[in-house]
Amino acid sequence: MSDNGKVIRKCIICGKDHYETMFTFTYEYLTKIYKNVSPEYVEAIGWSPDTRSSIVRCLKCKSIYVRDVFVGYERTKADMPIEEPSYNPNVSWSNWAERVWILNCLLFLAQNISCKKTLNNKKGINFLDFGSGAGDYSNLARAMGIKDVYALDPYAVAQKTYYEKNNFPGIVFSKDKDEIFKHAPFDLVVSSSVVEHLFDPVNELVSIYDNMSKGGVFYVNNPFMDIDREINQLLNAKTIYKKDNVSHYHPGHINYLKPKQFKCLLKKIGFEVLSFNVKPPVPLTKYAIKSILRRNIVQFAKTAFNLLGVPYSRHAFIVRKK
C-alpha cells in the first residue's frame, strides 16, 4: 500500500499489521539532529516537512522493521551509475580475506554437488551473487575457478558496462531477476549485507530457495543491531554523526531481524542450518599485526572478538537446501 510516496508494510515475517511504535523519524529530526544528510537529499528521497517514518515492533512475532519505507532511496542510487571502480580506504585486506574464507567454506560444502556433476558430465558449479553491488564476491568466485557466475542486483549502482569494463571476465550481471533465474538451479549462493534492504525479505529468500539445486549451499548475513540501545540513542541524541554508528539512520536499512528470528525464518522456508557464526577469524600475519597496531581501541576489541568467535556486528548463516 502506498502513501505520499511511501510503501506501507505489514510485518515482514508474519504479515500482520498489529505493532507498537519504537521510534518515529521526522523531517525536522533528519535535517537538524542527523548531520550526515542535507535537506535537499532528504527531499530527493521522498521526504517533506510533514513526513513521518516509524520503526515498529510486531506485537505477534516481535520482529522489528520500518513500517513506512521510502522507495526513492534505492531508486536514486540506481539512477546514478558508477563507471569507474572506486577505492574505499575503509575496506581492509582482512575484509577480502573474510570473503575468500567464506567462498572456500562454500566450495568445500559443495564438493558432493561438484563430484556428481563431474560424474554425470554436466556443467560445473552454478554460482549466484544475490545483491551483488559492484561484484566483489562475483570477482572472487571467478578468480577461484568457478566458471558459471551470475550477479543479480536490481538497485546496483554498477551497470553491465561497469562489469564488462572493470570486473573479471565471464560474470553474467543483470538487474532483472527473471533474466538471471533462467540460469537456475544454483549450487552456491552468496547474499552479503542485503537482507536489511529488502522490501519483502521472506519472498526474496523463498525465491532463492526455489532456484537452488538440491543440496545447494547458501551464505547469508545481516547486520546485528542492538535495537534497544540504538533506539535510546535516537531518542536522547542532540546530534548524530556517521561516526556514532547508529545503524537505524540508513534510509535503505528497513529490516532489523535478530539472529534467533533470522534462524527460525530460514528453517521455516526449508533450509537446513549448517553453521551459525560471525565474521571468520582474522589470520595473524605480519600485515594483520601492523593493522591492529594502527587501529583504535574499539577496532582492536572487534579483532579480539573475531578471534574468540564472539558476535559484535553481524550474524551470518551457512545453510543448505534439503
3-state helix, strand, coil in the chain (%, to 5): 40, 25, 35
Task: Dump pLDDT digits (tens) for 22-56.
Answer: 999 888 888 888 777 778 877 777 788 888 889 99
User: Residue 135 contacts by C-beta under 8 Å, 6 or more apart in sequence?
Assistant: 129, 151, 158, 163, 167, 168, 171, 173
pLDDT of residue 33: 85
Q: Which CATH class is domain 93-223+255-281+310-321?
A: alpha beta
Residue 299's nearest CA partner among 248, 237, 243 is 243
DSSP string, 255-278: EE--HHHHHHHHHHHTEEEEEEES
State the Cα–Cα distance between residues 302 and 310, nearest whole angstrom: 9
Q: Does 2 score more than 60 pLDDT?
A: no
For residue 191, list its beta bridge partners.
220
And the C-alpha cell for 61? Answer: 512475532
Is the pTM higher than 0.85? The answer reads no
Of residues 46 and 234, more confidence is placed in 234
For residues 190 and 281, give the distance between their C-alpha atoms in angstroms, rounded to a whole number: 19
How far, in Å, CA of 176 to CA of 275, rounded?
Answer: 31
SS3 199: coil
The bridge status of strand 126-130 relative to strand 148-152 is parallel
The domain spans of the chain are 2-82+227-249, 93-223+255-281+310-321
Distance CA 122, CA 259 (A): 37
Lowest mean pLDDT among 155-159, 198-202, 208-212, 230-234: 155-159
Give the CA count within 13 Å in the CB-facing half-sphere of 108.
8
Over residues 256-292, the pLDDT tens digits come to 888 888 888 999 999 998 864 444 444 445 555 555 5
Residue 61: count of CB within 10 angstroms of its CB: 16
Counted residue by residue, the chain has a size of 322
- 39-59 burial, b for 16+ CB within 10 Å, e for fewer? eeebeebbbeeebebebbbbe
